[in-house]
Amino acid sequence: TIKSLEQAGIFKSNSIKHGVKLLAYGSERLRQPVTVKLSRASTKAVEAVENAGGHVISVHYTRLGLRALLKPHKFVILPRLPRPPPKWQPYYTRWKNRGYLHPAVQMQQWLARPEYETLGAKFEAILEQKKKQNANSKNE
C-alpha cells in the first residue's frame, strides 16, 4: 500500500497530494511477488508486477482517504473509501487498469481472505479448467 511505501522511505507523506502512480521504470529488477494498492498504474507496470507473480489494485483515494491511510492514528473512526467521481469511474471499473470496482478484482480480494482460502483454491482450479477448455476448443 501507499503507507508501506511511505514507511520504507520511498517518499514523504507530505509529498503525496493526489495519490501515487506506479510506472514501469526499473521493472526488470522486480523478481518477488508483491501486492500493490495504489491510485494508478501504467499498463507496463501492471504487466511487470503480474509477471513476477504479484497483484496490482488501483484504488481511488480522496485527500481525506489518503490522510486516513497515511496517519490512521489521527482518526477515531477511519472513513470508508468513497466512490470515484463520474470522470474517473471508468478507470476504476476496468480490468485493464486493475480497478478496485471491477468484479474480478473484488472477487480476488474476497477470495484472498484467510477464511475463504479453500474456496479460493477451488475457484482458481475452475478458472484453469475453463482456460484449458477454451484453448482446446480453439485448436479444434
Tens of pLDDT, residues 81-140:
888 889 988 988 888 888 888 888 887 777 777 777 777 677 777 777 877 787 777 666
Higher-pLDDT residue of 108 and 76 is 76
For all residues of the chain together, what is the average pLDDT?
Answer: 84
Which pairs from 85-88 meet CB under 8 Å and 24+ separation? 88/60
Higher-pLDDT residue of 59 and 112 is 59
What would the DSSP string read from start to end of 25-87? Answer: TTGGG--S--EEEESEE-HHHHHHHHHTT-EEEE----HHHHHHHH-GGG-SSPPPPPPPPTT
Give residue 76's pLDDT. 92
pTM of the model: 0.72
Give residue 18's pLDDT. 83
- Name the percent of the chain lying above pLDDT 90: 6
